[in-house]
Structure 1
Amino acid sequence: MTDKVLSAYTKSCLPRLLVGLGLSLGMFVVVLGVSLFFGFLTSNDLLSRDLAPLVMMGCFLFLFFVLMVGIMLWGLWVRQKRNQQLDGAFTPWGLQPRNYLISGRQYAGTYRGRAVNLYFHVSGGRYVRTPVLEIFVRGNIRTRLGLGSSNVLTRLGGTLTRQKALSIDDPIYEGVLIYPLDESWARTLLANPFVRTALTHLLGKDTPGVRAVVYTPDAVSLTLRHFGLDLITPSAAREWLEDLTALAEQAEKQLPPTITAESSKIEQNAIANRGAFTIPVVVVMLGILFCVVGMVVLVLTMTALTGTFP
């Protein structure tokens, strides 16, 4: 794993990990303190031993309720503050905001005559969570080309999909994995000075976070992970849009690729209509839930009828 990738992971995950561990430690101290307090009361006959468990459970339930309300209010405040920051960065460039998933944000509009779709959300587990920013600028690319930070996961992905990485002797592409569908077309494109400049801005060694630029048949996209939210500013948003637009323009200007591809319906929806995935996902989740509940009911029914656990 490169120093850049390691630094990005550390910057995005370490603060959340420390906060999570701090909260866990705080909860442990509170539970231990309450338990010791009630132990002191009962040992000194200040509280009935029969009543102590009920009172202690009531205290724990109250503390849990206060904690949940506090977390909910804090989450709403964080979401509102983050949405204001995102809107301030992207709406000046003609992109209209909408809610996305539970706490994400999506934008759609045009920039310099090209359709733009943008998605922001937070993904990952409890502690190892990362903001994800995806920007799609439409273009008539007609082939595929992927460029991303070289690390263990991206190299493993290339191996599993049996993709051959393209080697280019250029310091700009040092530490970048390149997977083309049309190698000749990709070499010509990546030698273009305008493309080299744009990719330096988007994927250069000094750019924060873990990044990938992907050409699909209908769009050029930038994906950012493991970065600080202070990176998202109006000037940064404009630079990303300018660079992606330049990449799309240069891809359309050069000779068309000889190995072409077409976007699937899923890819098209992933760019411009992610709401199309909502109903299928909900149906699958409800199906899984009903199966689990059905199994539990079946087991309990058999246990009640036979008197033995199956």
Structure 2
Amino acid sequence: MKIFLFRLPIFISCCFILCACNPEQSPVLTREVTPDILPNEAITAVPSQTAFSESSPHQHFQTNSGLTVDQYQLKEIPAVDPLLFEPILGSQDEILSIHAAEKEELFVDNSFFENSLPGKKAFLNGKELVAQEIISNTPSGTNQTISIDLSLDKKSIYTIDGGDVSPTNSLQGLWTYDGHWMLEIAYVTKTVNSQENDASFNVTGQIVQDGELLNEKLGYQEAFNAQIINGKPFYFFKKDGEIGISYGNQTTLLGYDEVPHYKCCNAAEMNPRSAQTMVSFFAEKKGTWYYVEIGAFK
């Protein structure tokens, strides 16, 4: 994923505003229930064709790991500023109201700043776990790079390279669960265009669990948007060009080509939105766009 920087001295935070369509002008939304995906071995990839049927504008099913998925096909790519999407079946208002209460159950922000650098805190087995960005100059002095240091009880236990300094924070998330920890990094590669006097940034999501880089261990092209759902680790990944999810170390391929993430400014409205028991996001497959909600719904 590329982010382009055009000589902007200040990067503006984005506002997240949802504007609704008129439900009276849309068909009545009904649930279409597809058979549950059957469990396989402990860590398995479910073929995408068993997850979604492209012939139906609304899919509702349960993954092998126990999460519920609702996928709504859209007429076109969502608009931003304000965020608007038009489903084939139902309306934006109707869809967003289904799990409105769950969307309000947000995580406590564990971010902090020290020496103007972002960090995140959590607790592991009663001890403070801290991740913080560290900026260094390259030997030539022409560029700056970032590393992430993770310390437990003020003792460094892990360090990872975050790539080049960019508008995107390299430190994306720090989570703990059942005596384990999970760290999300946005690794940035900067390309300078001297003729245009600007630069572009390629951002790749990486996730580390207990000191193991999952991108390398599991062959992911990218892993991103980590969180905890009902005490279990959850994240998106891309492997062999296809988007999937991992929940409780069980994986399900979703068949999407792309899920927008790490976007900035107005485009950040397309990023996944996490809550304590769910995540909502936009996805694209072969030019068709979807709005999707995945969660451990009661």
Q: Please tell me the TM-score bracket, short chain as reference.
A: under 0.3
Instruction: Specify the structure having the higher radius of gyration (Cα).
Output: 1
Say which structure is richer in helix: 1
User: More strand by proportion, 1 or 2?
Assistant: 2
TM-score, structure 2 length as denominator? Answer: 0.25
TM-score under structure 1 normalisation? 0.25
